[in-house]
């Protein structure tokens, strides 16, 4: 018989209690993982942002536009590699509940500033050559079963009217944390309609995305861009893409903060559940620990027995919780409004945090029982009737 066998036999002595404890830990690990996934999904834009990209928007608010004429002026600033531009289109596809980002872009520069959106050269060429062509992220294409060559009809709201797009490409993201849900189409297509129907809205840009040569120069270049348009009719605010995304996340900061706190409270709950089990277990075995000491087992052995038992229980709970996380996250995502979170993946860090938290909880939960077992005199332990 090995120490491990002895620990394993002891761990399952009270089957019902241990099963309930393991179930409690599994649910807590699952809830922790799910909440962390929500938090990371919320911050996915920040995580996926590149330090080499700046975003320039209207200084007053993102909802106001900037002149198209700024493009060349920005491009002339030293240190800038590419300037691309976008307009938030919104609109309704099928019905108002079907959400995914629909964005007018400059096809020529889109893939230069966003190399993470991967499209075959054939699809890229077709997208660029057709005025009303669009490309879709693979997730959205799958969701609506849209194929290359299909027509997508969208009712405009910010940009009124009926809009028709031909799908000419389906892009795939380079990594799991890149957004695979967006729709991009020609800014020129949008601008031409504006020129004819709403001339005062023509040649307006939602935001510029600027690829810079050296990430370390981001602050200086941002400053230079903003200085360039100071006291103009549309002053700019330039910042790194990460800061820009963070601004969106910050608006939901209280909710994220609350979710974060909840996720850590759950770790506290696991700790209480396991502590309770371990303290009860150790108390019931006071006499056995005294017998083991009498036989010559030392404090080090008792430490191994008790901590080992707590770790076995917490590890099994963590394994069950983590292995249930993928289907639960998929189920959770399916009941969320479509497109709510463009990226809803379980990060590796979530697995690591949940798993290591469970291990840590196992160790902490055994501290009190170990202390008691070590500090109970053998003669007192032998007299114990629990």
Min CB(33)–another protein separation in Å:
33
d(CA 193, CA 162): 11
**CA 371 vs CA 76, 282, 312: distances in Å:** 70, 10, 19
What Rg, from alpha-carbon coordinates, does the chain have?
29
| Beta carbon nearer to another protein, 288 or 333 | 288
Q: How many CB atoms lie within 10 A of CB 138?
A: 14
Please answer whether residues 183 and 141 qualify as being in contact, where contact means their C-beta atoms are separated by less than 8 angstroms.
no
Q: Which of 12, 20, 3 is nearest to 281 (CA)?
A: 12
Instruction: Please state the closest distance from residue 378 (CB atom) to another protein, in A.
Output: 4
Task: Work out how close the CB of 34 gets to another protein at its nearest, in angstroms, rounded to a whole number.
Answer: 36
Strands 204-205 and 151-156 come out as unpaired
Task: Please report how the helices 15-42 and 253-284 are oriented relative to each other, as an axis angle in degrees rounded to 10.
Answer: 160
C-alpha separations of 67 from 86, 135, 204, 220, 236 in Å: 12, 25, 5, 22, 10
Q: Which H/E stretch holds residue 16?
A: helix 15-42
Rounded to whole angstroms, what are the CA distances from 348 to 31, 361, 362? 16, 20, 21
Least distance in Å: CB of 311 to another protein? 18
CB 382, min distance to another protein, A: 7
Taking the complex as a whole, the smallest distance from the CB of residue 369 to another protein amounts, in Å, to: 17
- Rank residues 20 and 378 by Cβ distance to another protein and give the closer one: 378
Q: Residue 91 or residue 369: which is nearer to another protein going by CB?
A: 369
Q: What is the dihedral of CA 237, 238, 240, 246, to 10 degrees?
A: 10
Q: How far is the CB of 300 from another protein (least distance, A)?
A: 8
Q: Which is nearer to another protein, 256 or 382 (CB)?
A: 382
Place of tokens 């910042």: 239
Question: Is the CB of residue 113 less than 8 Å from the CB of residue 163?
Answer: no
Residues making contact with another protein (CB under 8 A): 1, 3, 6, 9-10, 13, 287-288, 291-299, 377-379, 382
Neighbours of 266 (CB within 10 A): 22
The residue (of 91 and 308) whose beta carbon lies closer to another protein is 308
Query: Which C-beta is closer to another protein: that of 296 or that of 327?
Result: 296
User: Closer to another protein at the Cβ: 128 or 382?
Assistant: 382
Rounded distance between C-alpha atoms, residue 366 and residue 375, angstroms: 14
In the bound state with another protein, the residue whose beta carbon lies nearer, of 259 and 382, is: 382
Query: Shortest Cβ distance from residue 303 to another protein (Å)?
Result: 12
DSSP string, 96-153: TT----EEEE-HHHHHHH-TTEE--HHHHHHHHH-TTEEEEEHHHHHHTT--TT-EEE
Comparing CB distances to another protein, the nearer of 196 and 375 is 375
Give min distance, CB of 386 to another protein, in A: 13
Q: Considering the complex, what minimum distance in angstroms separates the CB of residue 274 from another protein?
A: 20
CB closer to another protein out of 226 and 288? 288
């Amino acid at each position: 018989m090995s120490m491990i066998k002895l620990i394993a036999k002891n761990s399952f002595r009270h089957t019902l209690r241990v099963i309930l404890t393991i179930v409690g830990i599994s649910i807590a690990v699952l809830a922790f993982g799910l909440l962390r996934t929500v938090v990371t999904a919320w911050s996915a834009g920040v995580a996926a942002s590149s330090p080499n990209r700046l975003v320039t928007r209207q200084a007053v608010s993102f909802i106001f536009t900037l002149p198209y004429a700024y493009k060349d002026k920005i491009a002339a600033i030293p240190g800038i590699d590419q300037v691309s531009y976008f307009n938030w289109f919104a609109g309704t596809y099928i019905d108002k509940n079907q959400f995914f980002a629909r964005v007018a872009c400059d096809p020529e520069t889109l893939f230069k500033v966003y190399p993470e959106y991967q499209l075959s050269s054939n699809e890229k060429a077709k997208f660029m050559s057709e005025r009303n062509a669009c490309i879709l992220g693979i997730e959205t294409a799958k969701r609506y079963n849209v194929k290359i060559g299909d027509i997508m009809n969208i009712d405009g709201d910010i940009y009124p009217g009926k809009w028709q797009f031909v799908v000419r490409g389906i892009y795939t993201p380079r990594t799991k944390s890149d957004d695979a849900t967006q729709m991009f189409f020609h800014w020129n297509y949008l601008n031409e309609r504006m020129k004819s129907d709403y001339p005062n809205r023509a040649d307006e840009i939602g935001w510029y995305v600027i690829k810079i040569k050296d990430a370390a120069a981001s602050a200086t270049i941002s400053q230079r861009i903003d200085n360039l348009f100071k006291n103009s009719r549309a002053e700019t605010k330039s910042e790194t893409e990460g800061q820009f995304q963070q601004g969106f996340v910050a608006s939901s900061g209280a909710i994220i903060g609350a979710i974060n706190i909840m996720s850590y409270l759950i770790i506290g709950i696991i700790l209480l559940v396991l502590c309770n089990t371990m303290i009860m277990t150790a108390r019931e075995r006071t006499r056995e620990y005294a017998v083991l000491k009498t036989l010559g087992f030392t404090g080090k052995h008792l430490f191994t027995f008790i901590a080992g038992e707590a770790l076995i229980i917490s590890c099994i709970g963590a394994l069950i919780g983590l292995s249930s996380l993928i289907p639960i996250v998929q189920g959770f995502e399916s009941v969320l409004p479509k497109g709510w979170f463009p990226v809803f993946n379980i990060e590796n860090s979530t697995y690591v945090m949940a798993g290591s938290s469970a291990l840590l909880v196992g160790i902490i939960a055994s501290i009190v029982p170990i202390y008691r077992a070590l500090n109970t005199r053998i003669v007192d332990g032998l007299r114990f009737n629990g």
